[in-house]
């Protein structure tokens, strides 16, 4: 019938154990790049939703929650982070948050799929527009190859992906990513890397933490809550190559953030007991 409502749904499953199901209004974009299928939907609950290979990558409702949670727990305590590397990040949200820091002189974004950048510039301009900032160097390349060949070292390296491995790049699965990253960090440099959902990918999270612990003198872990991600909560590892900074460098614009704030910093790294057990973290 002409007045019958459309009944379109998007389902994103995580490890075939748990998932998110969103009712959609319409499909705004659908294409296939050399690496993956890219789609943008208009959803009732989360606004515009970007999917890569069928998995939710970001949405209007929680893009800022993800980006702030990935950036500020680390950048806010760095005495001076002049050079930042973002691996992934074609949507630009994490770059936007990094650029808030006046000490940052250059942000290098390494995204393997140019089509992701183009789609996000059209449908998620609040995030993607920052990729045109004069401090940003956008590199379309495989992240592992870039790290292998890059002559520079960085104060902070941020993995802007749901896990350390990126399905768009086969080399992540055959070469030690932690080894490559470690060589590209300056002394006292820091790595930020999402581990996955500790409740439904326990073994993967533990394996990545063990690999990082082989290279970094200190590993902190915290949780971020992202409603559109299957499982809801994701663990993030922060690896420090040297001294562990702690004091937050308060900024006037902290009041404008939607999620993170300085008062949250200390509590962020106090994990619930069941999460510590899932990740194999021993505490008093």
In a domain, residue 235? The reply is: yes
Within this chain, do residues 149 and 209 fall inside the same structural domain, yes or no? yes
Q: Domain range holding 33?
A: 8-59
DSSP string, 20-71: EEEEEEEEEEEEE-SS-EEEEEEETTTEEEEEETTEEEEETTTHHHHHHHHH
The pLDDT, as a whole number, for residue 61 is 95
pLDDT in tens, 25-49: 999 999 999 999 999 999 999 999 9
Within this chain, do residues 139 and 245 fall inside the same structural domain, yes or no? yes
Within this chain, do residues 42 and 180 fall inside the same structural domain, yes or no? no
What is d(CA 102, CA 164) in angstroms, rounded to the nearest whole number? 28
Within this chain, do residues 195 and 275 fall inside the same structural domain, yes or no? yes
pLDDT (average), residues 155-175: 61
Within this chain, do residues 97 and 183 fall inside the same structural domain, yes or no? yes
- 160 tagged catalytic: yes
Is pLDDT of 74 > 80?
Answer: yes
Of the candidates 91, 142, 155, 160, the residue annotated as catalytic is: 160
Name the token pair of 129: 């527009």
CATH code assigned at 15: 2.30.140.10
pLDDT in tens, 104-134: 999 999 999 999 999 999 999 999 999 999 9
CATH code assigned at 217: 3.40.50.150
Is pLDDT of 220 > 80?
Answer: yes
């Amino acid at each position: 019938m002409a007045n019958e409502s459309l009944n379109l749904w998007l389902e994103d499953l995580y490890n075939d154990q748990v998932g998110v199901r969103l009712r959609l209004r319409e499909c705004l974009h659908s294409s296939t790049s050399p690496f993956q299928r890219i789609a943008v939907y208009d959803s009732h609950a989360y606004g515009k939703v970007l999917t890569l290979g069928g998995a939710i990558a970001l949405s209007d409702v929680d893009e800022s929650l993800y980006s702030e949670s990935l950036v500020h727990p680390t950048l806010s305590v760095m005495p001076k982070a002049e050079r930042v590397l973002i691996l992934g990040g074609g949507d630009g949200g994490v770059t936007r948050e990094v650029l808030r820091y006046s000490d940052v002189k250059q942000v290098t974004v390494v995204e393997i799929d140019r089509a992701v950048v183009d789609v996000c510039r059209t449908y998620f301009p609040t995030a993607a527009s920052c990729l045109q900032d004069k401090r940003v160097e956008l590199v379309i390349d495989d992240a592992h190859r870039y790290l292998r060949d890059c002559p520079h070292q960085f104060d902070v390296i941020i993995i802007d992906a749901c896990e350390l491995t990126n399905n768009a790049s086969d080399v992540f699965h055959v070469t030690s990513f932690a080894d490559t990253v470690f060589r590209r960090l300056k002394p006292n440099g820091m790595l930020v890397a999402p581990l996955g959902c500790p409740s439904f990918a326990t073994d993967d999270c533990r394996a990545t933490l063990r690999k990082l612990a082989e290279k970094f003198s200190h590993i902190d872990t915290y949780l971020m809550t992202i409603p559109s991600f299957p499982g809801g909560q994701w663990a993030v590892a922060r690896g420090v190559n040297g001294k562990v900074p702690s004091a937050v460098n308060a900024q006037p614009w902290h009041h404008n953030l939607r999620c993170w704030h300085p008062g949250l910093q200390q509590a962020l790294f106090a994990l619930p007991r069941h999460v510590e057990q899932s990740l194999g973290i021993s505490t008093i």
